A and B are shown apart, each in its own frame.
Chain A
Amino acid sequence: MEVGRLPISASQRGKLISAGYTTLSSLSSLSPSDLALGAQTAWDMLHEDEMFPRITTSCLDLDNVLGGGINCKEVTEIGGVPGIGKTQLGIQLAVNVQIPVDYGGLGAKAIYIDTEGSFMVERVLQIAEACIEDMTECNGLLRKDFQAGQLKMHPNNILENIFYFRVCSYTEQIALTNYLDKFISEHKDVKVVIVDSVTFHFRQDFDDMALRTRLLSGIALKLMKLAKEHGLAVVLLNQVTTKYIEGSFQLTLALGDSWSHSCTNRVILYWNGNERYAYIDKSPSLRSASAPYSVTSKGIRNSASNCKRIRMM
C-alpha cells in the first residue's frame, strides 16, 4: 500500500515521503526510534557536544568558567553596567571565531548586530592585530618542527569576515532577526551571532507592554532556533537596570522577568573593587562561578593581577 493512501495527516505523509518511505512495506520493518529522525540518545548528544568547539574569549579564567569558551548551539546572554566591557567582549568573540582550526579555533565568520553604535572599526582592528600577533607568537613557540604554512591572516581579512548590521529601531531589529535564517543558510561559515545590545530599542515606551513581551519572546525563539539548527553561538549583550525588591535596590538585567527565561546561559559582568569579574548566573551545564578578566589595548585578556600565563592552544 502506498504511503499516500494511509490515513495520516498531510504533514506526516509529506515527512515520510521526503524521508524516502513510499510504501507500507518499507515502514513495517522499522522501529519507532528509526523513524524519530530528530531524536537522539543522550550518549549521542554528549558526543556531539564534544565535537562542537567553543569560542575562546582570550581570557583563560573566563574560558574556564565557561567550560572552555562560548558554546555553539546555545544562546548566551551577557549583561553588565556601561563601561564594563560588553562591547569589547562582543568584538573579541567576533574576532576569535575566525581563529583558524589549526590554532584551536573555528575558522568561521561572525555576524555583528549593532543597535547602539558602539562598534568602532579602529578598535576591531586593534583587537584583530593583537589576535594575529598572539597566533604568530604561538606559531614561533610551538611549531618550529612543523612544516605548517605561515599564518597568512591580515587584520583586513578579519574585518571582511564580520558581517556587520546596524539597526536603528525595534522594527528593524525584528526584521533582521527574521532574515538571519536565510542569510545564514547562504553563509554557512557563520558560527557566531552577536547582538550589541539586544535591549536598547526595547526600553522606549511601548503603549502596550504585552506587545513588547510578545515581540521579545518572538526574537528569543528565533535566535534559539538559529543556534540549534545552524550549530552556531548566539551572544546577546544586555544592559542592567535596578529593581526594587523588599525596600532596597538590586541590579538586574534589563527586559524583565519573562525575558530572563529566554536564554540558555547568563553571564553577568561586574566590578569587584578595581577588577572586572564575570559571573555565571545561569547555565544548564556550568557551575556558578566567577572569573576575573581585564580589558586591554589588545582586547579581553587575563586579569593583570594573576601571573602571566602562556596560552597553549
Chain B
Amino acid sequence: MTPENLLLRPLITQKCTLGCPVLDRCLGGGIPCNSITELVAESGCGKTQICLQLALTAQLPIPLGGLSASSIFIHTEFPFPSRRLHQLSLAFRSSHPPIFGGDPCDYIFVQGVHSVDQLLGILTKMEQFVENSRAQLPVRLIVIDSIAALFRSEFDNTPVELKRRSSLFFKISGKLKSLAKRFGLAVVVTNQVVDLVGPEGINGLRIGNLASLCSSGRRVCPALGLAWANCVNSRLFLARHEEVDKEENELVDVNLQSTRSRRRLHVVFAPHLPESCCEFVITRKGIFGVEREQNAAKRNEA
C-alpha cells in the first residue's frame, strides 16, 4: 500500500464542460470527474436536459473542455426522451465540427432500469463494460436519471424499511464511487424534490449553502433524505420561479401582467466550490447560462 503522489495528479481536477461558459464558470469548469454530482429539481426544471447535454459535450475533445468520451445514460422514467436528444445532437453537430465522423447519439449508451435490484446488477456489470469501451471511445460519464424514481415506490415508511433503503444508498454510491475512481469517471445522478410542509422535522434540516430551497413559490427539499445526501460529493439545485415581466408594469392593466419563468442553478454544497448561483434558460439548442449584466460589463472592461 503506497500513498498516491499528489504532485502527479493534474493540479485542477478534470471536468466535463456543460457546453456553456457561463454555467461552467459557476461550476468551476464543469462537472468534476472522480466524483458524484447530484442534480436536484422539481419536474420540468431541466435536470434531464442538462444530462442529455452532458452526454453530448462529454464527446468534445479535452482542449474544448470535454472528456473525449462516450457515456452511459441510465434512465428510470419512461420513455427515454430520444426526440429531445436527437434535437440537441443536431444543434451540437452544427456548432462543432465533426469529431468522430458519426452520429453523436452512437456514443451514448442508454439503459432503462425498473428496480433497485436491476440497477445493482447493472453496476456490477458496468466495470467490464467500461473496461471494454477503452478499445474505442472510452466511457467517462455515467448519468442516472433519476435515482429517486427507483426508491419512491418500493419502500414502506417503516423504520426497518427506511434503514434497508439507506443501506442500499450507500451500496449504490460505493459502487459508483469505486467505478469513478478506477476509470476517472464523472457521475451525475438526478433527484426529485418533496414539498416541505413545516420547517420543523428532519426535512427542514439545513443542508448546505441555502437556508431553504424554493421552487415555483414553494419550499421544497430533496427526496431520499439525509442518508442519500451523505452519499453524493456535490449537490446542485435547479429552481424555477415565475417573475412578473417588469417592463410591462406601468403600461398594462395589473390583471393582465404576464409572467416569465426564471430559472436558476444553485450550488448547495461542493468540496471545491463556494456558494454561487447562475441564471439559465432552456432553448431548442440546449441549456445556457445567462450572465448578469454587471458581470459581463466587468469582464469586457478587463
Contacts and interface: CB of A to CB of B under 8 A. Distances in A.
Contacts, number: 116
Contacts of A21: none
Contacts of A249: 201-202
Contact of A120 (B32, B167, B207, B268): B32
A168 B1 contact: no
Given A81-B207, A203-B230, A205-B168, 13 more contacts: A82-B229, A82-B235, A87-B271, A118-B35, A121-B13, A162-B6, A163-B3, A165-B3, A166-B4, A168-B181, A204-B170, A241-B166, A249-B202
Contacts of A64: none
A162 B5 CA distance: 9
Given A81-B229, A203-B167, A242-B202, A120 B13 contact: yes
Interface string A251-262: 100100000000
Given A118-B233, A123-B272, A159-B6, A81 B209 contact: no
Q: In this complex, which of A156, A183, A239, A251 has the most chain B Cβ atoms within 10 angstroms of its Cβ?
A: A239
Contacts of B233: 116-118
Which 10 A-B residue pairings sit nearest by Cβ, starting from the closest?
A: A83-B269, A83-B208, A205-B167, A163-B3, A203-B170, A118-B271, A168-B178, A159-B6, A120-B272, A271-B206
B34 A117 contact: yes
A119 B227 CA distance: 20
A201 interface: yes
A43 interface: no
A65 interface: no
Contacts of B284: none
Nearest to B180: A117
A175 B1 CA distance: 9
Chain A contact residues (Cβ within 8 angstroms of B): what range? 35 or more
A103 interface: no
Contact of B4 (A122, A156, A165, A273): A165
Contacts of B202: 242, 249
Contacts of B297: none
A164 interface: yes
A102 B28 CA distance: 36
A160 interface: yes
A134 to B, nearest CB: 19
Contacts of B7: 156, 159-160
A9 to B, nearest CB: 35
Interface of B: 1, 3-4, 6-7, 9-13, 28, 32, 34-36, 159, 164, 166-168, 170-171, 174, 177-178, 180-181, 201-202, 205-209, 211, 226-227, 229-230, 232-233, 235, 268-269, 271-272, 274
B230 A239 contact: yes
9 contacts: A81-B206, A82-B229, A119-B271, A122-B13, A168-B174, A201-B174, A241-B227, A249-B201, A251-B205
B127 to A, nearest CB: 12
A137 B201 CA distance: 46
Interface in A121-162: 121-125, 156, 159-160, 162
A191 B141 CA distance: 38
Nearest to B271: A118
A26 interface: no
A92 interface: no
A162 B3 CA distance: 9
Given A82-B235, A119-B271, A205-B164, A200 B209 contact: no
A156 B6 CA distance: 9
Contact of B208 (A82, A117, A122): A82
Contact of A81 (B167, B177, B205): B205
